[in-house]
Chains A and B, each alone.
Chain A
Amino acid sequence: MKLLALETLQSLPSVILPRLIKMFSDTTPALLDEIRTHTQQGNWLDMAKAAHKLKGSCVSLGAEQMADICKDLQHKGEANDPTGVEGQVEALAALYPLTLNAMQSL
């Protein structure tokens, strides 16, 4: 699975790409914080909602690895299953700067 699916980004109107990347960089840290906070507090359903929201952005911008982790976090949150969630949250947070960097270097 690719960090960034270029074909997804290339299919989007090029004029909106900078705006989308800016929005991604503006909204993702807050969503990551939200996911992390809900995870620490055990609010699994709220964590799932935040993961779903971040997943939507990631899917649209071709951030496949982040989207996949978000999807898994969402499923675990909906199932009240805390197994491995913390590790995945950290992996997600670690992937974010790499993904953003890949987007910005396009």
Chain B
Amino acid sequence: MRILTNLRLLQIIDSALLIILLGIIALLLWFSLSNVSHKAQQNQQQSATAMQEAYASFQQQVELETRIDAQREAYDTLEQEFFKFANNPNSDRSYLPVLNDLSDDLMLKYKQLLQAWPADADPQLREQFEEYTGIMANLTAELETALSPYQWQQLARDAHDTAIEARELMEELEAMDDTMAKQVMSAIQQSMDSNASNAEQMATRLATIQYRTLWIAALLITLLIISRTYFSGNFKQLIYSARHAQTTAEDAVKTKARFLATMSHEIRTPMNGVIGMTRLLMNTPMSKKQSEFVESIHLSGEHLLTVINDVLDFSKIEAGKLDLKREPLELRACIEDVFNLLTSKAMEKNLELAYAVGPSIPLFIEGDMVRLRQVLTNLLGNAIKFTEQGEITVFVMPHSHQGDEYELEFQINDTGAGIPADRVESIFEQFSQADNALTRRGEGTGLGLAISRRLVEMMDGRIWAESTLGVGSRFHFTIKTRKTEGKLKPFLHPDIPEIIGKRILIVENNPASHQALRDFCSGWGAITQACCTTSEAIALIATGSTYDIGLVDSNLPNASALDLGKYVRSRYSKQEFPLILIAPPNDAHPKDTVREIFNLYLTKPITRSRLFDSLMTVMGELNLVTVRPEQSRLKLGERLPLSILLAEDNPINQIVATSILEEMAYKAEIAENGRQAVDALRKKPFDVIFMDMQMPEMDGLEATRTIRAEFPPDRQPIIIAMTANAMESDKQECLNAGMNDYISKPILPEAIEAALQRSLASLDKQAEPA
């Protein structure tokens, strides 16, 4: 955890540093380029303004020069015409209008010149020019009043002088205009120089930015490399630490698993020795006192073994080393197994055991039979332990159901003392017991319910309890499972031809047994009539109802089972209406009387197999059940023939395996060891090899490796390991060596058939066209 925190911190620092450095680069570039851009914009504006001003000055200058030329031309024309008129002896007044027109033209040009007159020109110059032009115009007007040619000539001379003065002024104005033009040129030149200077400054600035950027980038890259190197080193160190920690943890787990496996043998084996030896000792002559001591040793040994098994189971679960199997299990058989195991303890207290499984629950479900049985044994064992009288019932019902998926709820009810409300919640904790007196008496480890809870949780379920003091307790647990197929025993088949249509009278007052009897008989195809009391049953028979078989509980109210039997026998013989008495082994009814009335005893607890056998026996048809639907089907070997080689050195195992295979219509060849198996395969191909792991000369693993290396793909058989080693690591070793599947010893028909079915599925898959 600390390593992960450090890694995360380093990652955050590394990323932050990278972001900061990149941010600095971006900001520096942004500010530098913004400055350059602003200056470039300013220079461009200045240059444009200067150029516009220069252009305006140039236009004004051209305009002024044009106006001066026009004015000068007007002066020249007027002066020439004035002179011609004054000096021509033939001149007369009829020519005056021409001179007046020229004078008007002069004034027009004069006004146009004034419009273009420079604003900053000397005002005195303008006044003088206005004066001379006015004089010139007045001289033309004076011609109207002059009478003699002499006066005309005098006026012509004045006009000539005035024109000269005006021309001088215009030259002065032109000189001034030239000066202005030079100033404009100078301004343009300055603007151009300024532009060039700015461009040069800009280039220098950009070069500086480029240079600085290069240095800063180099600096930042260096910083990044240093930081990366630093962080990379730290990352490596942290990853190395994490790997080291992982390896250490894995080693610890392996060591713990090895320790558990070793402990399981080291403790259990001598304990078995102690118990075995004690049992031997019990068979030898001893005094009563000695027998009591040995019995005590034996019981203590058995108890110690239970405690050790509990502790080891709990440790395995805690270490995550307990794997649940997912194989077909027959739920009802599982409950009946537990009943068989606990019957003797229940009978010691005259407790009745009964169970009922919902009819919609499939016969076979997927799960771990051993572990489910362990949970049930624990809960039922507790129920028996804490119940002094009454009954223990088990109900299984579907909690939810979708397609083949089921969530089943188990209820284990007892009529015991109950659990105090404040302890109901905590009883599933380890080393917790509802009754501390048990611990003091040395009964139980306080781990049973904790183990059950863990196992149920591993089955995707939950466990809880409810209890009423003085009334009893009810333990619930759920498991998630799915419907599956399995090998049916004869009594598991629905609709048994010999039972179909048979009318069965059930007289049973215990609800669970009542329900179970109805479910079993109906499932086999019988027509059932169930009642809870003798009087109900007698009433049915008295009103003419007839039955093929009667199932009568021995523990009916008022001890009336015999009364019912006697009534039946008063009307029907044993052959006409067979009766079965369902009774505990220690049934108190007189045996002789029972034998007279009833055809058969059915010992409690009721299981399907015993009920089936009883029904068949009373019908006299037990031996006639010859054709079962399953038997009519072809055997696996007939349907799907395979060539099988059995590599096994133990002669007993050879017989067991070949016999099981023969039952399936397979004929297996035998190899005594791995080398013989390889040689056999060289001679002819085999579809499947059952390979023992440990054999003399060449073991199963080596033989498998040789086969996988030596033979071409079309000669490769399916190899199924057989071993008594139940460790997961052994299984992995087999698969790593190239084996396809794995079955544990003892070799059971179901395991062989399941392995062959899987092999066939895989062969089919290989044979399918791509």
CB within 8 Å of B: which A25-79 residues: 27, 49, 52-53, 55-57, 59-62, 65, 67-69, 71-72, 75
Q: Does B708 contact A (CB under 8 A)?
A: no
CB within 8 Å of A: which B721-763 residues: 724, 745-750
CB within 8 Å of B: which A79-106 residues: 84, 87-88, 91, 94-95, 98
CB within 8 Å of A: which B685-701 residues: 692, 694, 696
For A62, list chain B residues within 8 Å (CB). 746
Interface contact B660-A12, CB-CB below 8 Å:
yes
Interface contact B655-A23, CB-CB below 8 Å:
yes
Interface contact A23-B652, CB-CB below 8 Å:
yes
Interface contact B276-A8, CB-CB below 8 Å:
no
Bound Cα distance from A56 to B655, whole angstroms: 12
Could you say which of A11, A53, A60 contacts B745, with CB atoms under 8 Å apart?
A: A60
Which of B263-271, B419-427, B552-560 is near enough to bind chain A? Answer: B263-271
Proximity bits, B711-729, A CB within 8 Å = 1, else 0: 0000000000000100000
Could you say which of B272, B659, B663, B747 contacts A65, with CB atoms under 8 Å apart?
A: B272
Interface contact B276-A68, CB-CB below 8 Å:
no
Residue of B nearest to A74 (CB): B694
Known contacts A11-B749, A12-B659, A56-B692; 16 additional CB pairs below 8 A are: A16-B656, A19-B655, A20-B652, A23-B651, A23-B652, A23-B655, A27-B652, A56-B652, A57-B652, A60-B652, A61-B746, A75-B265, A88-B270, A94-B277, A94-B280, A98-B280
- Given A8-B748, A53-B650, A62-B746, is A20 in contact with B272 using a C-beta cutoff of 8 Å? no
CB distance from B531 to the nearest CB of A (A): 37
For A61, list chain B residues within 8 Å (CB). 652, 746
For B277, list chain A residues within 8 Å (CB). 91, 94
The list of the 10 closest CB pairs from A to B, nearest first, reads: A56-B650, A91-B273, A57-B652, A72-B269, A16-B659, A59-B745, A8-B746, A59-B724, A13-B659, A60-B656
For B746, list chain A residues within 8 Å (CB). 5, 8, 59-62
Interface contact B656-A12, CB-CB below 8 Å:
yes
For A56, list chain B residues within 8 Å (CB). 649-650, 652-653, 692, 724, 745
Bound Cα distance from A19 to B660, whole angstroms: 14
For B345, list chain A residues within 8 Å (CB). none
Interface contact B276-A95, CB-CB below 8 Å:
yes
Q: Does B305 contact A (CB under 8 A)?
A: yes
Bound Cα distance from A19 to B692, whole angstroms: 22
Residue of B nearest to A67 (CB): B724
CB within 8 Å of A: which B264-318 residues: 265-266, 268-270, 272-273, 276-277, 279-280, 305
A selection of 23 A-B contacts at a CB cut-off of 8 Å is A8-B748, A13-B659, A13-B660, A13-B749, A16-B656, A19-B655, A23-B652, A24-B652, A52-B694, A56-B649, A56-B692, A56-B745, A57-B650, A57-B653, A62-B746, A67-B724, A68-B268, A72-B269, A75-B265, A87-B273, A88-B269, A91-B277, A94-B277
Interface contact B694-A20, CB-CB below 8 Å:
no
CB within 8 Å of A: which B191-250 residues: none
Bound Cα distance from A1 to B305, whole angstroms: 9
For A71, list chain B residues within 8 Å (CB). 265, 724
Residue of B nearest to A49 (CB): B696
Bound Cα distance from A32 to B276, whole angstroms: 17
Bound Cα distance from A47 to B270, whole angstroms: 18
